[in-house]
Amino acid sequence: MSNIVSALNNKAYADGIAEVREIGLQGMITLRGDLASSAVKSAATSVTGVKMPAPGHANSDGQHGICWMSPDELLVLCPYDAVADTLEKMGKSLAKAHALYVDVSDARAVFELSGPHAREVLAKLVPVDLSPAAFTSGMFRRSRMAQIPAAFWLHAPDSFRIVTFRSNAQYAFDLLKVAAQPGSEVGYFKG
C-alpha cells in the first residue's frame, strides 16, 4: 500500500560531520520467552537465518537479524513486508511454548548514522564507551540517547543502526543533527 509511511519518511541530513538518515520501515518482532528453550531459539533462527546472538549482541544479515534485548527477550528483524508471514511461522514453532511474539515494526523508527565521525557523534549523546576497542561489530546496546531510550549496533564499520520509539523520531533526528553539526569534530577516537 502506498499510504504506508515511516515516522520521518526517509528524512536525511548530510551537511554535518556524519550522515543521518531515517531508513524507513524495518520489520521488527518482539519475542519473549525462555531463550534457552529450543522452541524459542528455533522460532528466532529459522525465520531469520542467523544464529542466536550472545547476550549484549546482535547477529544480522541484511534486513534479517536477531538482537538480544534482555535475558527473556529478542528483537527479530525481517523485511517489513514479511512480518505477517514471519509471525505465522514463529507461531507454529511456538505453539506449545509459553512465549509472546508481537509485531512492533510500526512502533519504532530506525536511523543510520554513518561516516568516519559516526562514533563520536553518537558518543555525544549516549553514556557508553564507543571507542573502537570497546564497542565492536556485533555488539548491541540498549541505553539512553540524550533524553530518550535507544538501542544501537554497528551495521557496518563506521555505520550505526539506531532504533528509537516512533513518537521520538523527530526528536532523535534533530538530536543527531545537532550532534553532527559542522565543525564539531571531537577527535577522541583513534585507530
Partner 1 sequence: MLILTCPCCGVTGEETEFHAGGEAHLKRFGPGSSEDQFEEYLFMRENPKGVHFERWRHVNGCGKWFHAARNTVTLEVYGTYAAQTHEPPADLRDKITEKVPGWTWREFQ
Partner 2 sequence: MSTRLATGGRLLNKSRALTFTFNGKTMKGYEGDTLASALLANDQMLVGRSFKYHRPRGIVASGAEEPNGLVNLGQGGRFEPNQRVTTTELFDGLTAKSQNHWPSLEFDVGAVNTQLSRFMPAGFYYKTFMYPRPLWKHVYEPFIRKAAGLGAAPKDRDDDTYEHFYAFCDVLVIGGGVAGLQAAKAAADTGAHVMLIEQTAHWGGRASVDGGEVAGKPVDNFVDETVAALEAMENVTLRRRMMGAGVYDHGYVLGYERLTDHAPEAAGPRHRLWRIRAAQIVTATGAIERPLSFAGNDIPGVMLASAVRDYVTDFGVSPGDRTVVVTNNDNAYLTAIALKNAGLDVPAILDARVLPTDSALMAQAKSLGIRVLMGCGVSKVQGGKRVTGVSICSQAGEGAVLEEISCDVIAMSGGWSPVVHLWSHCGGKLVWDADQAAFKPDVDKAPTGADGKPFVTAAGAASGALLLGDVLADADGAGKAAATATGHAPGQSAAQAPVASHAPEAPMAPVWLMPQGAGIKLRSKAWLDYQNDVKVSDVQLAAQEGFQSVEHAKRYTTLGMATDQGKLSNINGLAILSDSLNQPIPQTGTTTFRPPYTPISMGAIGGEARGDVFQPVRRTPIHDWNAENGAEWEPVGQWRRPYAYVRSGESTHDAVMRETKNARDNLGLLDASTLGKIIVRGPDAGKFLDMMYTNMMSTLKVGKCRYGLMCDENGFLIDDGVVARIDDDTWLCHTTTGGAERIHGHMEEWLQTEWWTWQVYVANVTEQYAQIAVVGPNARKALEHLGGMDVSADTMGFMDWADGTLGGFDVRVFRISFSGELSYEIAVKASQGQALWDALMAVGADLGVMPYGTECLHILRAEKGFIMIGDESDGTVIPQDLGLHWAISKKKEDFIGKRGQERSHMVDPTRWQLVGLETVDKSTLPDGAYAVADGTNANGQRETQGRVTSTYHSPNLDRGIAMGLVLNGPDRMGEVLSFPGTDGKEYKAKIVSPVFYDPEGEKPNV
Residues 86-145 that bind partner 1 (CB under 8 A): 127-128, 141-144
Task: Count the site residues for partner 1 by CB under 8 A.
Answer: 13
Question: What CA–CA distance (Å, rounded) separates 94 from 38?
Answer: 10
Question: What CA–CA distance (Å, rounded) separates 100 from 30?
Answer: 8
**What number of other Cβ atoms are within 10 A of residue 10's Cβ?**
12
Half-sphere exposure of 14 (CA within 13 A, CB side): 3
Q: Does 107 bind partner 2 (CB under 8 A)?
A: yes
**What's at 126, amino acid-wise?**
V
Task: Give the x/- contact pattern for partner 1 in 46-75, rule: CB under 8 A.
Answer: ---------xx------------xxx-x--
CA distances to 21, 81, 174 from 105, in Å: 17, 10, 22
**What number of other Cβ atoms are within 10 A of residue 100's Cβ?**
11
Q: Does 13 bind partner 2 (CB under 8 A)?
A: no
Q: Does 167 bind partner 2 (CB under 8 A)?
A: yes
Which residue of 18, 20, 25, 50 would you call a contact of partner 2, by CB under 8 A?
25
**Residues making contact with partner 1 (CB under 8 A):** 55-56, 69-71, 73, 127-128, 141-144, 149
**Residues making contact with partner 2 (CB under 8 A):** 1, 3-7, 25, 30, 32-33, 72, 98-100, 102-108, 120, 123-131, 134, 146-148, 165-171, 174-175, 178-179, 181-186, 188, 190-191
